[in-house]
Amino acid sequence: MTPNTAVRYLDRTTPPHISTLILLASLPALSMNMFLPSLPAMAEYFAVDYRLMQLSVALYLGVSAILQLMIGPLSDRFGRRPLILAGGALFLLATLGCIWAPTAEIFLAFRMAQAVIATGMAISRAVVRDMVPDAQAASMIGYVTMGMSLAPMLGPLLGGVLDSYFGWHSVFWLLFVLGVALFVLSWYDLGETSATTNRSFAEQFRQYPELLMSRRFWGYCLSATFASGAFFAYLGGAPFVGKEIFHMNAIWLGLSFGAVSFGYMMGNFLSGRFSTRIGINRMILFGCIIAAVGISISMALFYLGLGNAITFFAFMSTVGLGNGMTLPNASAGMLSVRPDLAGSASGLGGAILIGGGAGLSAFSGSRLSVDSGVYPLLWIMIACSVLAILAILFVMHRERQLSM
């Protein structure tokens, strides 16, 4: 199948419809954060400390990072379609394990297994690169992630409502139903877009040094990693902040999580609309600056004694806006380094990005206490944003040198 093959919906002999790619990227995002308002209730259910249940975020991200190292080469070797279908089936089994887990430790084990759904998020970017040339990849990835941003926007609110009225198990039952629906859709609509290679899995792995030796790859990868690191730190710390510091219930906490997702959706829209015209490097820089400025204003308000739950969550929308501008463009930049290794680049970049996010999520959760307030979380987030700015400035400096 060639990239120019016409798309026909629910025809697996053609490339997938963009709506299928959006849903493939959405379910991992939904699985990541829909249950966050339930974390305090889950800690009570399993009679464990909140910090243990908070690991369900960091462990999920950590396993996602490891899996993406393998997903990329495997999808280049065997194709995109088989990997996505296998990941969807395993996700369904892991979700049932989460529902029926008798202890927190068993729950965490199945929660880690749920991370296999990350195949959809990683491979959907590679599918975009298979379908369109470099100039359009950032724009199309922006539209895909704009659509998927509705999932984390509505997910925590829906999860909070389900938790309040039906208990935390209902959140995972909904994930199971959505997983079944996505598996059926993928079966009928997801045509193969990659020309599979005869290189072995080991040979595919040996291509990684070519990517790792590329300064452009590292610049794009680190800008994405640090930009998203601010968001992952927020995921690890915000449930504690909302529940223990601002005393919010599950519904209000879920609604407040929508601020960052709304910002992300708007950033994705801007990426889809302007990336081709403005250029990916400047879009990344603008996104990183917006996130840093928003977090800095939030921090200043708290130091001035004007901070509260509204100002904390409202300014998180700038983190989402910045990430929505940064991540699609940084992803397109990573994939453009070696187009013939798009799956490997997506997997390696995603592993570094999510691995860093897992560490920051766990670190931010461990640094928070009622006495510390929101300050450790805000400092971690602003540090990540500044490092993201430095990373993309390095890429721009490098490209200016090469053009001389």
- What is the rounded CA–CA span in Å between residue 320 and residue 297? 15
In this prediction, residue 145 carries a pLDDT of 65
The count of C-alpha atoms lying within 13 angstroms of the C-alpha of 135, restricted to the half-sphere facing its C-beta, is 2
Task: Let me know: does 149 contact 270? Beta carbons within 8 Å.
Answer: no
Q: How far apart are CA 61 and CA 352, in angstroms?
A: 11
Domains in the chain, CATH or no CATH each: 18-191+199-403 (1.20.1250.20)
Q: Which of 330, 131, 134 has the alpha carbon at shortest distance from 223?
A: 330
Query: Position 237: which residue type?
Result: G
- What does R_g of the chain's alpha carbons equal in angstroms? 20
Mean pLDDT score of the chain: 82
pLDDT for 344 equals 66
The three-state secondary structure class of 12 is: coil
CB 337 within 8 A of CB 345: yes
- Separation CA 210–CA 194 (nearest Å): 20
Query: Does pLDDT of 273 surpass 60?
Result: yes
CB 87 within 8 A of CB 75: no
Q: State the amino acid at position 103 in one-letter form.
A: T
CA–CA separation, 329 and 320 (whole Å): 14
Least reliable range by pLDDT among 76-80, 207-211, 272-276: 207-211
Sign of CA dihedral 183, 55, 287, 154: positive
Burial zone of 193 (CB within 10 Å; 0-12 exposed, 13-18 middle, 19+ buried): buried
Residue with tokens 């015209």: 277
The pLDDT tens digits for 105-164 are: 999 999 999 999 988 887 887 787 677 665 566 667 666 766 566 676 678 878 888 988
Dihedral angle computed from the Cα positions of residues 331, 336, 338 and 343, in that order, rounded to the nearest 10 degrees = 40
Cα separation, 77 vs 196, whole angstroms: 5
8 Å CB contact between 354 and 58: no
Task: Average the pLDDT over 320-338 and give the result.
Answer: 83
The Cα 70–Cα 89 span in angstroms is 17
For the whole prediction, is pTM greater than 0.75?
A: no
Q: What CA dihedral angle connects 238, 253, 258 and 159, to 10 degrees?
A: 110
